[in-house]
Amino acid sequence: MKKVIKDWKQLAKLKPSKNYRLIIGDCCGWIVPINDEPYPHRGNSDEFQCNCKIDSEEYINFFDHHIYLSTHTFYKNHYKESTKLLNKYGWKNIEIDNWDKEEEGWKKIN
């Protein structure tokens, strides 16, 4: 059974996968290569230092290895896509909660 991640605080507490880590701010974040580091002096920020090789090939593929988790991560159908991304990058035992589920249940009743 997968662990349901209820909010950004729980998501931020996940340990790195084999090759990736999460860098989470207040309400957004990134899936980044394990060697990238958060800026420690910026508090609860989603900013990080990219430590990838900077050559033309790596630069072109930046977003293949740096995945933005938007403020919509827990809403509408975005929670499904966010779960797929996290599973793909090594967090296979988790599922992102749907913050709209109560509202969707209410719509079905009415």
d(CA 51, CA 33): 8
Reading the chain (110 residues) residue by residue, the pLDDT tens digits are 899 999 999 999 999 999 999 999 889 999 999 888 776 665 556 667 777 765 555 555 777 888 999 999 999 999 999 999 999 999 999 999 999 986 655 455 44
Cα 9 to chain centroid, rounded: 11
Question: What does 22-48 look like in DSSP terms, one character per residue?
Answer: EEE-SS-EEEEETT-EE-GGGSS---E
d(CA 99, CA 18): 28
pTM for the whole structure: 0.79
